[in-house]
Structure 1
């Protein structure tokens, strides 16, 4: 947790000044609008800043002062997710795939499932015992990401340690989301869902071939059940030869939320309440898939959505393990953000590969799994069967329309770009801008997620990578590279990099504009104030229609991550900048061509690397 002195206001997520938000908003609009549109938007901003916007901002600040226990974005953000009625599949839930276990013989499905499960429970135990050290966000790693600093901060009384960290620009990250990692589910309710957590439950939920099993992974004293016992139970489940159920209930979690809420009521009235409670309260959901992973595209499709029968999409996360030991987490997004999931993911990978609970030589315990493992069954009437059939049809149609493709750019990565004094993230984001301009001839609204967990109950802020700098640079590279020297092209890239780094730093410090404008709009709705004109401006709609939705994931534990586009005519772009290569995983619906976009990304990276190496650029 961020340890904060009561008198200090450093900890709360800061509300930006209204004039800063308006300035940043206009800067982000500039590359997207022509001169006429921009002038209109400027007018809307001016009257907002001097009128309703000012009043709303003052009310937001006053409300924030009264609610020191949380952040101004926390409530509205939960509402946004929980009130959304679209299916959580493709629209919200992302996935992250683990790298294989470095010791190949440990990638057997049973061994890996046992080791990852035990490591996940060890993480739960460490967290609940209050022994999980907060991660630290370093604005100046040279000063604070050092052993001296870490030793020093341990010696300082906890009431003051936050100041010490603040002094060197290092912020212990907020951990308020972590308790929802375990024993949690999103429950469908009419018009707004609820988050449910029961941390007293001790059982694991296992899905295989659409069947549901539960067994205890914690004993009555809260200790981890022995690894050989967990191994025995999982082996028993893997040996169940029953065919998949005719009506797999799991499909219902992929439905529209109102439809699912109604069907869930039907499940309850048909006598399934206790079964649903077992599912909702389970420590987490382990999905054992019956086939190996063919390639990275198959991996993405399987971990992002699968065939709908073997996931409970409402669980805080599903830990998925394929027949060949390929593993991933798929998570529900309302309860928390990638940063909490990634911490869990990294620790579990490290623990399961460095101190595995079982080895290929380990024998399962001689225990009667047929008694310990309970197979759950659902009572279904005709209405529920019809509901499952419809859910399956919708699910199949949705996932059939999604294409996923990827590239691995091998010419260089973080090391080379840092030598060139460029931000690796800025360069890859610039490649996306160039690629879209090359493919479609225009600049569009672009979203890059940035965590604000350096603050109490911070969630995320948006970095807006499309800028006047990226537009100028992209147009030069695409339309007239031969008219410019390598030095001039490098200079354009430097400007983009500086501006992008500034935006990223501001966003991480809660100084973007997206969340502030979102909160003001939310407040207007709550107070019954007519929607200010700023929000009715087509330009506001357009900048929030994020055609390029991007998120970066770089970790030694992550093989690949991904998500679907957030708008029908968009791209969902998961990427990672490694030391010597760049990976990019892109999803699209029929309106966009992911393969062609990636070819344009590759061309853009080639061009930039050529410019940096002083080589000519081929048009």
Structure 2
């Protein structure tokens, strides 16, 4: 009976498979449909196998816990085996992109898990009434529209290298109409105080040389890839520049009207196709705070905010970068600058002048003269005044906290990042009596085209610790709550790094919802909650150089800063240059009566002191 049934389907089977084998067009509609289904089944099976293999490689072992400050006591044999496979496939001395094929795609989180994590994160922040309303909307979303959006997002994840990164770049950065300075661009410092020369032109010459060398190494695939444990991989005048600091729609209109013909078109192409943008600033900032204030907007007329990297050299030899956020996050530009500064140390003579470099023949500098009409001149003045007003509203302070650093935190067996985030929560609560909805940026570079995910640092455990500190509960209770809160934060950090956060998933669901012309009260409500405390840790030690010591620590970069994501909140960046200190950069807006960067920075320092006193007894 089975043989008879097989004989009946055999002709159809042959009609379907024969055109596929011989690369012929099917002879009928049914044959075409059958061919498509067969090809789809074969491809889907192979893709599923490869995807499962990559997921297995990503999940094997405990390599994530080997990262940075949390080495495991024992690494499993499976983890060691996978590391060996990656090293063999990527090359024992991997080039810049040789390990790209080893990176798995970032998985789409489970819908129910994302909703639960989100609701858990907002419970300490929202009123009971708002929380219950949001909870109701979340349940309705999960039962109805959420299922369809999740299915479509999983389909996108099949054909896209990363299910969210392309949308993140397009809609968060490129589609925004807000001006770039303060709202999007960020800045990064050069050395703290121990710079290799005080001569501006010499410093510019050396840094430009090494930045170009860095770019050449990337183009030639000679820059070593970033690895965990050396085995696990991670994933470029006039006042005309001021126009790039306008509202994006205004800048676009002026660009089309005045810079798309004649010599202005040629100059614009020259600027936009340049490797990076150099500014020789006549000012000499006296400290980090003044340098940060200068660097976020430059002098309001010379920074080309659209460039991926603008390098500002000050009259006293200090330097800073102003970076556009779309192409890369802070760790990438920090690596770029740190690599150059690590190699410039032997580039100057005893007088601080730059030594000659071996290089190809270069052309002489050419003066680029814009054609300035009265109307264009009026627009540049308007843009200058606009940026200047925004800069005057930018309230920032940079602090060198050198009473202790991550060395003390690690001795207490707590994650330094979790410790610092807890101090931020304590400082904010003491200042406002509230728990802030908190954003901490975490990288997802373990995945192909991965960028960032959000760690929601305000948790029920952090609130318990903060209130215990404020109300002076018994010491042992406060220590126990501190340890519990830092453990919770560390878990959230690891979940975010491994694609198990909730924010990028919710964002992708929202974009998919808009794409199919639907509305979701839950997604709209969830994504409209403002982060009144936006934080980020700048990495150190990405370049191949000796670690900083007490004698050399002033050569380290203090990190950098950015503006607040909410006009009613704070933007806080921090950096551990080595074990003995940390730098904290606080930003807010003078126009907000509830915020004060100096006051909040002092509250953070007090929190650090109180937490140390708590742990030391």
SS of residue paired to 2:584: strand
Question: Is the CA contact (8 Å cut-off) linking 1:270 and 1:379 kept in structure 2?
Answer: no
Structure 2 CA distance for aligned equivalents of residues 587 and 45 of structure 1? 33
Question: Is the CA contact (8 Å cut-off) linking 1:266 and 1:384 kept in structure 2?
Answer: no
Say whether residues 1:283 and 2:275 are aligned partners. Answer: yes
Structure 1 CA distance for aligned equivalents of residues 349 and 106 of structure 2? 40
Query: How far did residue 42 of structure 1 move?
Result: 1.6
Deviations 1:298-335 (A, max 9, x none): 11011111221221111110011101110111100011
Structure 2 CA distance for aligned equivalents of residues 38 and 267 of structure 1? 51
**Equivalent residue for 1:587?**
587
Say whether residues 1:604 and 2:604 are aligned partners. Answer: no
Say whether residues 1:496 and 2:485 are aligned partners. Answer: yes
Query: How far did residue 268 of structure 1 move?
Result: 2.6
Structure number, greater radius of gyration: 2
Query: How far did residue 5 of structure 1 move?
Result: 6.7
**Equivalent residue for 2:35?**
none
Question: Is the CA contact (8 Å cut-off) linking 2:348 and 2:355 kept in structure 1?
Answer: no
Say whether residues 1:432 and 2:424 are aligned partners. Answer: yes
Question: Is the CA contact (8 Å cut-off) linking 1:111 and 1:359 kept in structure 2?
Answer: no
Structure 2 CA distance for aligned equivalents of residues 521 and 574 of structure 1? 28
**Equivalent residue for 2:520?**
532
Say whether residues 1:416 and 2:423 are aligned partners. Answer: no
Say whether residues 1:552 and 2:537 are aligned partners. Answer: yes
Match of 1:82 among 174, 177, 189: 174
Query: How far did residue 363 of structure 1 move?
Result: 6.7
Structure 2 CA distance for aligned equivalents of residues 116 and 127 of structure 1? 17
Structure 1 CA distance for aligned equivalents of residues 266 and 523 of structure 2? 45
Change (3 A) 1:613 1:307: same
Structure 2 CA distance for aligned equivalents of residues 596 and 130 of structure 1? 47
SS of residue paired to 1:85: coil
Query: How far did residue 58 of structure 1 move?
Result: 1.0
Say whether residues 1:33 and 2:33 are aligned partners. Answer: no
**Equivalent residue for 1:223?**
none
Taking structure 2 as the reference length, what is the TM-score of the superposition?
0.77
Question: Is the CA contact (8 Å cut-off) linking 2:188 and 2:320 kept in structure 1?
Answer: yes
Question: Is the CA contact (8 Å cut-off) linking 1:22 and 1:45 kept in structure 2?
Answer: yes
Say whether residues 1:96 and 2:87 are aligned partners. Answer: no
User: Using CA pairs below 8 Å that are at least 6 residues apart, which structure has the higher relative contact order?
Assistant: 1
Structure 2 CA distance for aligned equivalents of residues 356 and 451 of structure 1? 36
Structure 2 CA distance for aligned equivalents of residues 384 and 92 of structure 1? 25
Match of 1:173 among 231, 234, 245: 234
Change (3 A) 1:84 1:351: same
Question: Is the CA contact (8 Å cut-off) linking 2:347 and 2:354 kept in structure 1?
Answer: no
Change (3 A) 1:362 1:339: closer
SS of residue paired to 1:353: coil
Structure 2 CA distance for aligned equivalents of residues 512 and 362 of structure 1? 48
Structure 1 CA distance for aligned equivalents of residues 528 and 353 of structure 2? 59
Query: How far did residue 465 of structure 1 move?
Result: 0.5
Query: How far did residue 255 of structure 1 move?
Result: 0.5
Deviations 1:243-284 (A, max 9, x none): xx5xx1111010011100110112235521101000100111
Query: How far did residue 336 of structure 1 move?
Result: 1.4
Change (3 A) 1:500 1:362: closer
Query: How far did residue 524 of structure 1 move?
Result: 0.7
SS of residue paired to 2:121: helix
**Equivalent residue for 1:71?**
162
Query: How far did residue 609 of structure 1 move?
Result: 0.9
Deviations 1:146-174 (A, max 9, x none): xxxx4xxxxxxxxxxxxxx5xxxx3x111
Deviations 1:425-453 (A, max 9, x none): 11111111111111111112111111111
Match of 2:155 among 58, 62, 78: 62
Structure 2 CA distance for aligned equivalents of residues 101 and 576 of structure 1? 15
Deviations 1:354-398 (A, max 9, x none): 567998465779x9x997110001112222112112111211111
Say whether residues 1:260 and 2:260 are aligned partners. Answer: no
Structure 1 CA distance for aligned equivalents of residues 355 and 431 of structure 2? 56
Aligned pair count reads: 499
Structure 2 CA distance for aligned equivalents of residues 29 and 552 of structure 1? 22
SS of residue paired to 2:283: coil
Change (3 A) 1:102 1:588: closer
Aligned-residue CA RMSD (Å): 2.3
**Equivalent residue for 2:143?**
50
SS of residue paired to 2:123: helix
Give the unaligned 5+ runs of structure 1.
Answer: 139-144, 151-164, 175-180, 182-210, 212-244, 615-619
Structure 2 CA distance for aligned equivalents of residues 270 and 281 of structure 1? 17
Query: How far did residue 505 of structure 1 move?
Result: 0.6
Query: How far did residue 34 of structure 1 move?
Result: 2.6
SS of residue paired to 1:605: helix
**Equivalent residue for 2:508?**
519
SS of residue paired to 1:375: coil
**Equivalent residue for 1:570?**
569
Structure 1 CA distance for aligned equivalents of residues 195 and 569 of structure 2? 39
Change (3 A) 1:34 1:370: closer
SS of residue paired to 1:403: strand
Taking structure 1 as the reference length, what is the TM-score of the superposition?
0.77
SS of residue paired to 1:329: strand
Structure 2 CA distance for aligned equivalents of residues 107 and 5 of structure 1? 55
